[in-house]
């Protein structure tokens, strides 16, 4: 993919994956016991949900690396580290049960849904190495580390596991166009294999096991199969809209669900709590995405740099710094 390319199907897939995460949390957070059928479906979808989000980010790694180093670092700090910090503080304010402000790992997302942003930061930090080495080298090294390292720190384990999908995406970006030119047989087989594994594991194990190369291999087959089909489906503009604002939906949905649960859980039937939590969450996230996307809640203001710091040359006297 060339820098500046925008694939609408990526936005749609990102939007779908974020909404699936929110849907699951709307059932999981208000009550400790989730209806068996819904829990099974969520466990099945764990083959696709977060792996797809990480894979899509990895697909765009080369595009990010096409920027100068200062712009690359600035972008990740503004758009990932900043909302991670802000919404970790929000969790403290709403008395999220596992909020531990004295624990440094909490500020990297441990103990909450924000772990995804912490892992994404780590992946982009390591991903800078792919300016000089092929991402498949990092992927293989990650597989070895994932099989070998068993930490008591959730951030480490999550990075080793879900980081594999990020670097699988970065690797696949080099061959994406070739993959998308294939006929349907191989993508269908990939989806069948991944879905069969997800169904089996959801039935036998519950949540799909991690920290092993076989579940990763089967899951990644499903992810690339979904990508193949997504490029051939009709446009879903509303999903694209959500995907373009996925950071808003991702970071904000849990506080909305939690506050709703605090107010009505135990007062009304569980089914009503689930429905109200989902409606309030989607409506709240929509309003934030519609009116506050790009504000300090989700993005730190752009830092103006001297042109020499951005493109590697000294600024011309009297020349204005570029607006990027």
Phi, psi for 39 (deg, rounded to 5): -65, -40
The confidence score (pLDDT) of residue 34 equals 86
**Pair of tokens at residue 99:** 């909020």
Would you place residue 265 in the very low, low, confident or very high pLDDT band (cuts 50, 70, 90)?
confident
Residues 290-311: tens digit of each pLDDT = 999 999 999 999 876 555 444 4
Q: Which of 263-267, 286-290, 311-315 has the lowest mean pLDDT?
A: 311-315
The CA distance from 162 to 150, in Å, is 14
Residues 81-118: tens digit of each pLDDT = 999 999 999 999 999 999 999 999 999 999 999 999 99
- The model's pTM is 0.90
The CA distance from 35 to 56, in Å, is 31
Distance of CA 317 to the CA centre of its chain: 42
Residues 2-43: tens digit of each pLDDT = 443 458 999 999 999 999 999 999 999 998 788 889 999 999
The CA distance from 216 to 320, in Å, is 49
Would you place residue 209 in the very low, low, confident or very high pLDDT band (cuts 50, 70, 90)?
low
pLDDT mean across residues, the chain: 90
Residues 135-157: tens digit of each pLDDT = 999 999 999 999 888 888 999 99
Phi, psi for 203 (deg, rounded to 5): -80, -40
């Amino acid at each position: 993919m060339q820098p500046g390319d925008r694939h609408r199907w990526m936005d749609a897939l990102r939007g779908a994956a974020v909404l699936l995460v929110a849907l699951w949390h709307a059932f999981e957070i208000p009550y400790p016991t989730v209806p068996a059928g819904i829990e099974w479906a969520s466990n099945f979808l764990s083959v696709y949900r977060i792996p797809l989000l990480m894979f899509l980010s990895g697909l765009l790694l080369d595009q990010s690396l096409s920027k100068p180093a200062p712009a690359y670092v600035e972008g990740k700090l503004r758009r990932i580290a900043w909302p991670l910090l802000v919404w970790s503080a929000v969790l403290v304010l709403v008395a999220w049960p596992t909020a531990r402000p004295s624990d440094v790992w909490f500020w990297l997302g441990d103990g909450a849904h924000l772990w995804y942003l912490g892992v994404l930061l780590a992946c982009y930090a390591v991903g800078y190495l792919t300016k000089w080495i092929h991402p498949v080298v990092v992927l293989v090294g990650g597989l070895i580390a994932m099989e070998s390292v068993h930490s008591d720190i959730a951030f480490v384990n999550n990075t080793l596991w879900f980081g594999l999908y990020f670097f699988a995406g970065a690797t696949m970006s080099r061959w994406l166009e070739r993959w998308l030119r294939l006929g349907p047989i191989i993508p269908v087989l990939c989806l069948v294999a991944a879905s069969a594994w997800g169904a089996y594991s959801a039935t036998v194990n519950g949540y799909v096991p991690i920290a092993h190369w076989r579940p990763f291999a089967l899951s990644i087959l499903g992810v690339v199969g979904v990508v193949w089909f997504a490029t051939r489906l009709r446009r879903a503009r509303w999903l694209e809209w959500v995907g373009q604002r996925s950071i808003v939906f991702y970071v904000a949905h849990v506080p909305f669900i939690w506050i709703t649960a605090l107010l009505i859980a135990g007062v009304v039937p569980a089914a009503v709590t689930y429905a109200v939590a989902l409606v309030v969450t989607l409506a709240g996230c929509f309003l934030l995405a519609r009116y506050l996307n790009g504000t300090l809640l989700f993005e730190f203001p752009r830092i103006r740099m001297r042109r020499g710091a951005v493109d590697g040359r000294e600024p011309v006297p009297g020349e204005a710094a570029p607006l990027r």
